[in-house]
Every structure is written in structure tokens, then in C-alpha cells.
Amino acid sequence: MAKEEHVARLEQGVEAWNAWRDENPDVNPDLSEANLCQADLRGANLNVANLSGTNLCKSDLSQARLLGAHMYNASLVGANLSGASLRDANLYRADLSQSYLCGTNLSATELGRTKFNSTILDEVDFRKADLRGAVFKKAIFGRVLFWEADLSGLNLSHADLRGAIFLRANLSNANLSHARLQKADFGYAQLKAANLCGANLIEADFTEADLRAANLTNASLGRAILRRADLSEADLTSANLTEATLTKAVLIGTTFTKANLTGCLIYGISAWGLKTDGVVQQNLIITGRDEPEITVDNIEVAQFVYLLLHNHKIRDVIDTITSKAVLILGRFTEERKVVLDALREELRRRDYLPILFDFDKPASRDITETISLLARMARFVVADITDARSIPQELSVIVPDLPSVPVQPLLLEGSGEYGMFEHFRRYPWVLPLHRYETQDQLIAEIGERVIEPAERRAIELRPGAN
């Protein structure tokens, strides 16, 4: 309970009260549970005062000093706190509904479970404030500063926070769904698993923000800055990121289903395992701001294209693969593998890059796709069809679809061709079957009977050769 002496002194007016406080700096006033409803406390010195449970409804506390004040469970409904300083104050469970906070300093204040329903907050300083569990239903925000504030789990759904500063704030698991956050600053903020569904984040700044597993479905992120932001596992389904800056952003397992990425700046992104069904991705800018603008239409190939343009080693690797790679197909039984290994060693000795594929593994869609990809990278294919099993299936994928890749079939003398092989003879890029009696004979003849015919055909099949 409040000390009657302290209440009586306050009732003498703010001027007398402040003079008494100056004369007694070591006294901590106890005004707890007092009824100060509609009191005129403009400019009052209430530093470190005990105002726990105090009724301050509709009181005028503008320019009041409340540094370190204890206001636990106080009622400030409709109070005027404009220009007041509540730094280090404890407002836990206080009710500030319909109050007016313009230019109020709430930095480093304990605000857990405080009610701000229908409150006007303009240019309020929440730096390092603890707002866990606070309620801002229908609150109206001007330019509010939440620098380093703990807002984890906070419900700011549908709030108007245009231009608010959340620099280094903790918004993990916070609910900001459908909030108006145009031009808000979330630089270096923690937004892990935050709900930003349907939020208006146009031109918001998320530089180096942690948005892992955040819900950004249907969010408006046009011209937003997400430089170096971590969007791993974030859900941006149907989000609009038109002309957003994603420079050096981390996009691992990020969902962009039906999102709009038109005109995004994606220089230096790290993109792995994206979900991009139905995504609009046109004119993606892959170069830095100080480089000539180059655009692509696929975010997943952007890194590769950039490497091609700026990394001579990558280009050399690709040139080596396409000019020197030879795909060797055959059976990996003990007897047949000896021949394939010898073939590989001889091709390697002749400065080719042999790629040996084991067809004794069970056939599957993945293997079929892999063999097709390897064949597309090869200068030519050497296929030993002796004792063929899976090879017919793989040749049926390679031959009809790759007219620029010569195929040189081999067969051990005395072995019969498999039934379907005759079908491939009509393709000009399938060379005449070369029969060999022994492994040594095959190696001895490889230059004249295998490599040279394949190389001649590769040149003939090259676009523009004729």
C-alpha cells in the first residue's frame, strides 16, 4: 500500500513534489495501489517510485520522469505518456490500452504481458526492452525504435508498424502476420520461425537478418533488401519479391512456390534444394551493382552461369569435359570388368577423361537420368555390348536423343548381338560395330578402330561442320 505521506505530498502539486524529491534524493516514494486517476502529473519526478497496482487511468504523465519506476500491474488506460522517460522501468502486466505515447522512452524497460490495445505509439524508444508476451492489438505505431528489444513470441498481427526500427531485435516466433511494415528496418534481427504471412514488407530492410523457417507466405516484399539474410527453410509461397535485393542471401531448402522473383538482384546467393513450382523468375540479375547487368530466368542456375562468366578454371573444366570425356558402358562381371578397366587405362593414357559406369547396379529412373546426363557431357560413348543386360535400356535413352554424341559399339568375337541392337544401326551417329578377339587386340586397335572413327564422327556432327 502507498504511504499516505507520499500521496499527500503529490497532491500538493508537481512543483512542490519535485522540490521535495530534490531535497530528499535518497527517498524512494511508495505510491503503490494509490488512486491517481486523471491526475495532472506533467513533468513529475517519479524516478524509482513504487507505482505497482496504481490507478493512473487518464492521468497526464507527459514529460514525466519514470526512470526505474516500479509499475507492475499499474493501470494506465488512456494515460498521456508523451515525452515521458520510462527507461529501466518495470511495466510488467501494466495496462496501457488507449494511452498516448509520443516520443516516449521505454528503452530497457520490462514490458512483459503489458497491454497496448488501441494505443498510439509514435517515435517511442523500445531499445533493449523486454516485450515478451506484450499485447498490441489494434495499436497504431509511428516511427518506433525496437533496437535490441526482446520481442520473441510477441503478437503484432495486423499492427501498423511502418518505418519501425527492429535493428538487432529478437522476433523469434513472433506473430507479425498481415502487419504493415513498409520500410521497416530489421537489420541483423532474429526472425527465426516468425509469422510474417501476408505482411506488407515493401522496401523493408532485412540486411543479415535470421529468417530461418519464417512464414512469409503471401508477403509483399517488393524492393525489400534481404542482403546476406538467412532464408533457409523459409516459406515464401506466393510471396511477391519483385525487384528485391537478395545479394549473398542463404537460400537452403527455401520454398518459392508460386512466388514472384521478377527483377530480383541475386548476385552471390547460396541456393540449394529450392522448391520452385510455379515460380515467376524473369530478369534475375546475377551481377554486382558495379558490373554490367546480366540477367537469367532461373535462380537455381544463376550461380553456375556466374561462375562460367567469371571463373576461367570452371570454363576450362567444362571445356575439358566436353572435349575429352568418354563414357564407357559395359557389364561389371569379373571377366568383363578386366576389359573395361584396360579400355579406361588406354583412354586415360591418350589424354582422355574416361567415365566408367557400372551397369550391374539395379536399373532405376535415377540411374537412367544419370546415364543420360553423363552421355550429354561426353565427346563420344564406347559401349561394350558383350553379354548385354542393362545396356539395351540405356542405349535406348542415349541414342535417339543425342544426335551429336557418337556411339562406338564393341563386341567380343564369338558373342552374339542382342536382339534390339539392329534397331540402332539406322542412326548415323552409331558407328559400325567393332568386333575384337582379345583384350590385347582391342587395346592395340583402339586408336585406329575406336578413337579415330569416333573423333571423325564427332567433328562431322558438330553444328556448322557442313
Residue 347 maps to a domain: yes
pLDDT classification of 314: cutoffs 50, 70, 90:
low
pLDDT in tens, 162-198: 888 999 999 999 999 999 999 999 999 999 999 999 9
- 101 lies in the same domain as 71: yes
- Cell triple for 56: 493512473
**Rounded mean pLDDT, 250-263:** 96
Q: Does residue 357 sit within a domain?
A: yes
**Among 8-12, 53-57, 327-331, 406-410, which stretch is predicted with the lowest mean pLDDT?**
327-331
374 and 298, same domain (yes or no): no
196 with 249, same domain: the answer is yes
Q: What is the CATH number for 440?
A: 3.40.50.360
Question: Is 175 found in the same domain as 32?
Answer: no
Indicate if 9 and 146 belong to the same structural domain: yes
If one counts every other C-beta atom within 10 angstroms of the C-beta of residue 30, the result is 19
Does 144 share its domain with 177? no
In terms of pLDDT, which residue wins out, 211 or 309? 211
- Measured in whole angstroms, the distance separating CA 431 from the mean position of its chain's CA atoms is 49
Check: pTM over 0.85? Answer yes or no. Answer: no
Instruction: Report the interhelical angle of 14-23 vs 4-11 (nearest 10°).
Output: 130
The reply to whether 100 and 218 lie within a common domain is no
Do residue 332 and residue 284 come from a single domain? no
Which of 310, 326, 354 is where one domain is finished?
310
DSSP annotation string for 68-99: T-B-TT-B-TT-B-TT-B-TT-B-TT-B-TT-
pLDDT exceeds 90 at position 207: yes
Total count of domains within the chain: 3
User: Is 331 found in the same domain as 305?
Assistant: no
Provide the pairing of β-strand 295-296 with 284-285: antiparallel
**Does a structural domain hold residue 163?**
no
Structural contact between residues 340 and 328, judged by C-beta atoms closer than 8 angstroms: yes
Last residue of a domain, one of 252, 278, 310: 310
List pLDDT tens digits, range 73-87: 999 999 999 999 998
Contact 408, 382 (CB under 8 A): yes
Report whether pLDDT(330) > 50: yes
Q: Would you place residue 364 in the very low, low, confident or very high pLDDT band (cuts 50, 70, 90)?
A: very low
- Locate all alpha helices (DSSP H) within 325-445, ordered by sequence: 334-349, 365-377, 391-401, 439-445
Binning pLDDT at 50, 70 and 90, where does residue 362 land? very low
Q: In degrees, to the nearest 5, what angle opens at C-alpha 134 toward C-alphas 128 and 136?
A: 110
Taking 80 as the threshold, does the pLDDT of residue 141 lie above it? no
* Least confident residue range of 310-314, 330-334, 367-371, 386-390: 310-314
Residues 76 and 202 in one domain: no
Mean pLDDT of 11-16: 95
d(CA 44, CA 26) in angstroms, rounded, equals 17
Confidence of residue 243 (pLDDT cuts 50, 70, 90): very high
CATH at 66: 2.160.20.80
Average pLDDT over residues 311-327: 69
Euclidean distance between CA atoms 201 and 189, whole angstroms: 15
| Domain shared by 45 and 102, yes or no | yes
195 forms beta bridges with: 175, 215
**Domain span at residue 35?**
1-150
SS3 content of the chain, % helix, strand, coil (to 5): 25, 20, 55
Answer whether residue 327 is part of any domain: yes
Mean pLDDT, the chain, rounded, equals 87
How far apart (Å, rounded) are the C-alpha atoms in residues 291 and 361? 48
Q: Which residues pair with 271 in a beta bridge?
A: 251
276: pLDDT confidence band, cut at 50, 70 and 90?
A: very high
pLDDT level of residue 142 (50, 70, 90 thresholds): confident
Please give, one letter per residue, the 3-state secondary structure of 94-161: CECCCCEEECCECCCCECCCCECCCCEEECCECCCCECCCCECCCCEECCCECCCCECCCCECCCCEC
- Rounded-to-integer distance, Cα 64 and Cα 41, Å: 7
pLDDT > 70? residue 463:
no
Q: What is the pLDDT of residue 122?
A: 79
